[in-house]
Structure 1
Amino acid sequence: MAPIKNEVLIVGGGPSGLLLAHELMRRRVPVRIIEKRQGPSHTSRAMTIHARSMEMFEHMGMASRLEEICLECPGNLYHFPGMSDDKCPRTDYRVLPTRFPFYYKISQNDFELALREHLFACYSIGPEYRTELIALEQDKQCVTAKIRHPDGTIEESSYPYVVGCDGVHSFVRKAAGINFEGKTVAVMSMMDVELSDVKFDDRWMNYYFNKDLFMNCTKMPGKYWRIYMSEPTGEYVFAKDAQKAYQEVADKLGIGFKVGKPAWVTAWDVRNHIAERYRTDRMLICGDASHVHSPSGGQGMNGCMQDAFNLGWKLAAVFRGEADEAILNTYERERKPIGSQISKGAMATHEVVMGFGIEPADRLHLTQEPGWEHRTINLVSGLSHNYRDVTLLPEGLTPVTGGPKPGERAPDALLVKEPQRRLYDALRRPQFTLLVAPGTTAPDAVIDIGTQVRDQLNRLFPGQVSTYLISRAHEPRFDFDHQSTDEEDQFTERYGIPAEGRLVLVRPDLYVGMACVPSEWNTVGKYLTQWFLPRGEDAKNGILNN
């Protein structure tokens, strides 16, 4: 057996693989990314970055770059035949409770370039192209991979963990013996093209359809428009003259634009699949390797990247010997239900716009159900994704009311207006963050509790938790980097902080882990034992069991 390398092997250099590499490297876990493609892609299918992903990228320090190269999209317009634009159903993302109340439009190739540049700027690494995984076996100690290099030579190397971010036809998934159940639900093509005589509002994603045809289109950054097209026969989707086929479908739908010569066009089967599991011992799968969906709503790439964001901190802790490998099971336990939610949400939109054989008038009711728009934008944006049903809390914990529940997204809040400081600034460290909110009844006593729990956590879980005070005034018991005032009261309001105060523990992936009344501060350490191996004399003396 080859010596075990001190790094994680990531198979696949797309968005999921690049994001996972970033999350591991920022926790000082070496990685190697191999990619069998000839080089960086210059074409794309995905094109949307939703609000929850932007919150993730703000956490990673990438949001400002994406703001420079993306176009904002306020939402989707569903142009039912015969219905005026001001009456047609829409999903308007501008009401979302986030700093990013919209979604971004960008070609996947440009987006991947930004990811690669960020990864190289921070850590001097990138994918090894023309480098293909051709065999994979594992035992209790490692995974042994045979890798073909560009010159044809075969390398045999062993790794403690291998993660397959290698797409719908994942080699890693097959080697791990994981079934990928599902079916093909449509055929689709897409085109990047210059248009003329555009009459629709090109800021929005515009869906046009009739009984047997579907097309959506929007302006992209630069000179091109992005058009997706589908129909049940494949006659137009797989036509040799794509420009003619797209023009014909646009004319039949009454869209009115003129299609230029395409810069790029492709066609594919739309699949709806989800893996039976996400891990086989030391082999894991992530992104499209674990679930694929209809592109309706544009959730696919976002869900894949959020998978990597969930897995990264857990795999890092296991690799570094700070956690038992059993925590890797929580990756599937938390993310597979989200994959199912994304699939159901995508198919719900799919039925509205691509319910071929059913008259559009008979699909309209799907958009008229009470709360349809609210549910759709919160699901598609990722803001409503949560782990409530699988979150484990210490026994006997007093339930807290108000604010996000354990397992729900941790919302941002403006703390100080000038110079601006936001809650997400405090959460940007790649650790858990314990927020100490003193309240108004006995703030000094709660701050004392904050120092006590901070010191205990530093002893038990060194480097894993940052304790941060959010109070009414500067407090000398916390240093400058670990406190802020709540001048705007947004944090107090959004987290439902009561007069007696509260402790809120936020996970590294921006979800609330737990919250408790200050007097139950010892439960924070008990909660963290499900993630990390406690260290030091406190653990030996059983303080966590008191």
Structure 2
Amino acid sequence: MSSIEESVLIVGAGPTGLILAHELLRRNVPVRLIEKRKGPSHTTRAMTVHARSMEMFEHMGIAHRLEEVCLQCPGNIYHFPHLPESEQPRTDYRVLPTRFAFYYKINQNDFEQVLREHLFSQYSLKPEYRTELVGLSQDAGSVEARIMRPDGTVDTRRHSWVVGCDGVRSFVRGAAGIDFPGEEVAAMAMMDVELTDVNFDDHWMNYFFDEELFMNCTKLPGRCWRIYMSEPTGALVHADDARAAFQTVADRLGIGMKIGEPEWATAWAIRNNIADRYRNGRMLICGDASHVHSPSGGQGMNGCMQDAFNLGWKLAAVFKGLAAETVLDSYERERKPIGEQITEGAMATHEIVMGFGIAPEERLHYTQEPGWEARTIQLVSGLSHNYRDVALVPPVIHAVAGPRAGERAPDALLVREPRKRLYDVFRHPRFTLLVVPGADVDSHLSAGRALRDELERRYPSQVVACLVPQGNTRMSEHPDPDRATKATASPEGRGDDTGFDFDHRVCDETGEILARYGIGPEGRLILVRPDLYVGMSCVPEEAAAMLGYLEQWFRPISGCAA
């Protein structure tokens, strides 16, 4: 029998696998990342990065690098043929409550390169290309993987866990015996190509369609444009001469552009599939291996990466013995409904632009429903994705305003100069406890300190606590010099009378955190998860409930059970 290699085997080095590797490595979990492709992709494929993903990348420390290889897109224009240009429906993302109030257009090959460079520079990890998983089995303590090397020889190793980030035809999903039911909904072709005679705004994503044809056009970074095309017969989608077929559709829709020779082109069947489950024992699936859907709205890659962002911190805790294996059940419980939401949202756009057999004027009503634009941009951007319905929170006496457990934790500008944002406070791999005192400052500070200390005792190094006082007063400047001196010389060495040192205290000078988290004179304790979702929020007087909340995620150290 082969010996156990204490590591997580990740199968597939696309965006999902790269994000998962990052989230495990930043928590000191050893990773092996294999990919059967011959080398890094040189084609674009997916090409949209939405706001919630950019918030994730800012948290990971690579948003600035992605911004260098992207183009901003304000949103989508739906070109109904019977409407004048001024009346065309739009989904304008510039109103989103985030620093990334737009979405990015990016070449996926450039995007993946940024992720690979970051993994190599930070963790010295590179994907193992031309390395294919050809056999997989498991027992109670490990998985046995048969892996074919580039020279054709097969190596057998046992790993602690395996995660299939290996796409629609996932080998891991098949080996785990997980069903992947679904249906084909249309055929689609796409190409990257240079265009001439363009007479529409290339900053936007432009949807053109009639009763039987669909085309989507937008400018990519560099020379090329991305154009998608669909029609119900498949004759044009699968035509031998792709350029001629695309030109035919563009001409019939009256777009007016001239299509050059494509850099690359492909065609495929659009499917809606979602796995029956996301885990079988020590085998898990993530990203396209667990759900696929229409590309309408460009949510696919984003949803897949968020799957990995959700799974990474949980798998790390289980791997290191900090959490029970049952914690991994929350991955499917939280992310499968999101996969279903993505499918639903994608199909809503699909029905508008690819509702073949229905006249466009009869599809217009979808865009005229009250709140259609706001719902669409919140859903597609990922900002409205949440785990409210499955969040487990201990009962409290006082209900509080603001984001609920399982909802996205909003960002907020705390200090204007030098700039400090709330998301800067969250930029680490642990839970974050925010202590926001209200009118009763001394009492709320005392409750926050006591909770911080008890969390550190029960769950060492799993929670970072930060004090967020109101205003711009330095709380260490206490009027009583004797008290200040005693605090400075305290055994904790915290250096001031708040009990929170410089790295764990930032004033809210703007009031944004009060507004975005619904905080009043009652004050607040807010526990934010490593994946930027609210875990729990309560008044300082009910701090003990937070200890109960964390019991679902981590094992308390011996002798510290509640």
**Is residue 417 of structure 2 the alignment partner of residue 418 of structure 1?**
yes
**Is residue 520 of structure 2 the alignment partner of residue 498 of structure 1?**
yes
SS of residue in 1 equivalent to 2:16: helix
CA contact (8 A) 1:386 1:409 kept: yes
Specify the alignment match of 1:191 in structure 2. Answer: 191
Deviation at 1:327, TM superposition (A): 0.3
Alignment of 1:43-82 (within 5 A): 43-82=43-82
- Cα deviation, 1:221-275, whole Å, max 9, x if unaligned, reads 0111100001111111111111111111101001111101111111111111000
Specify the alignment match of 1:404 in structure 2. Answer: 403
Deviation at 1:143, TM superposition (A): 0.4
- Larger deviation: 469-478 or 209-218? 469-478
Specify the alignment match of 2:142 in structure 1. Answer: 142
1:460 aligns with one of 458, 461, 465: 458
**Is residue 486 of structure 2 the alignment partner of residue 487 of structure 1?**
no
Deviation at 1:360, TM superposition (A): 0.6
CA contact (8 A) 2:400 2:538 kept: no
CA–CA distance in structure 2, aligned partners of residues 48 and 456 of structure 1? 43
Specify the alignment match of 1:430 in structure 2. Answer: 429
Specify the alignment match of 1:17 in structure 2. Answer: 17
Letter in 1 for 2:441: P
CA–CA distance in structure 2, aligned partners of residues 442 and 249 of structure 1? 67
Cα RMSD for the two superposed structures: 0.8
CA contact (8 A) 1:474 1:484 kept: no
Letter in 2 for 1:240: D
Deviation at 1:445, TM superposition (A): 1.3
Specify the alignment match of 1:225 in structure 2. Answer: 225
Deviation at 1:399, TM superposition (A): 4.2
Gaps of 5+ in 1: none
CA–CA distance in structure 2, aligned partners of residues 86 and 335 of structure 1? 39
Specify the alignment match of 1:127 in structure 2. Answer: 127
Specify the alignment match of 1:203 in structure 2. Answer: 203
- Detail structure 1 runs of 4+ shifted over 6 Å in the superposition: none
SS of residue in 2 equivalent to 1:362: helix
Alignment of 1:156-305 (within 5 A): 156-305=156-305
Alignment of 1:333-372 (within 5 A): 333-372=333-372
CA–CA distance in structure 2, aligned partners of residues 78 and 126 of structure 1? 41
Specify the alignment match of 2:491 in structure 1. Answer: none
Deviation at 1:537, TM superposition (A): 3.8
Letter in 1 for 2:456: N
**Is residue 533 of structure 2 the alignment partner of residue 511 of structure 1?**
yes
CA–CA distance in structure 2, aligned partners of residues 226 and 237 of structure 1? 15
SS of residue in 2 equivalent to 1:101: coil
CA–CA distance in structure 1, aligned partners of residues 380 and 129 of structure 2? 32
CA contact (8 A) 2:193 2:224 kept: yes
CA contact (8 A) 2:400 2:537 kept: no
Letter in 2 for 1:426: V
CA contact (8 A) 1:404 1:495 kept: yes
CA contact (8 A) 1:194 1:223 kept: yes
Specify the alignment match of 1:449 in structure 2. Answer: 447
CA–CA distance in structure 2, aligned partners of residues 398 and 4 of structure 1? 48
SS of residue in 1 equivalent to 2:323: coil
**Is residue 104 of structure 2 the alignment partner of residue 104 of structure 1?**
yes
Deviation at 1:474, TM superposition (A): 3.0
- Larger deviation: 17-26 or 488-497? 488-497
CA–CA distance in structure 1, aligned partners of residues 462 and 180 of structure 2? 35
Deviation at 1:536, TM superposition (A): 4.4
SS of residue in 1 equivalent to 2:6: coil
Letter in 2 for 1:246: F
Letter in 2 for 1:109: N
CA–CA distance in structure 1, aligned partners of residues 181 and 216 of structure 2? 28
CA contact (8 A) 1:398 1:516 kept: no
- Cα deviation, 1:72-115, whole Å, max 9, x if unaligned, reads 00000000012122201110000000000000000111111111
Specify the alignment match of 2:469 in structure 1. Answer: 471
CA–CA distance in structure 1, aligned partners of residues 174 and 145 of structure 2? 14
CA–CA distance in structure 1, aligned partners of residues 398 and 379 of structure 2? 26
Letter in 2 for 1:408: E
Specify the alignment match of 1:526 in structure 2. Answer: 548
Gaps of 5+ in 2: 476-495
Letter in 2 for 1:497: I
CA–CA distance in structure 1, aligned partners of residues 145 and 422 of structure 2? 43
SS of residue in 2 equivalent to 1:161: strand
CA contact (8 A) 1:192 1:227 kept: yes
- Cα deviation, 1:325-383, whole Å, max 9, x if unaligned, reads 10000000000000000000000100000011111111111111110000000000000
Letter in 1 for 2:13: G
Alignment of 1:373-384 (within 5 A): 373-384=373-384
CA–CA distance in structure 2, aligned partners of residues 117 and 138 of structure 1? 33
CA contact (8 A) 1:459 1:536 kept: no
Q: TM-score, normalised by structure 2?
A: 0.95
Letter in 1 for 2:388: R
SS of residue in 2 equivalent to 1:114: helix
CA–CA distance in structure 1, aligned partners of residues 229 and 111 of structure 2? 22
Specify the alignment match of 2:389 in structure 1. Answer: 389
SS of residue in 2 equivalent to 1:358: coil
Specify the alignment match of 1:29 in structure 2. Answer: 29
Deviation at 1:538, TM superposition (A): 3.0
CA–CA distance in structure 1, aligned partners of residues 203 and 398 of structure 2? 44
Letter in 2 for 1:452: A
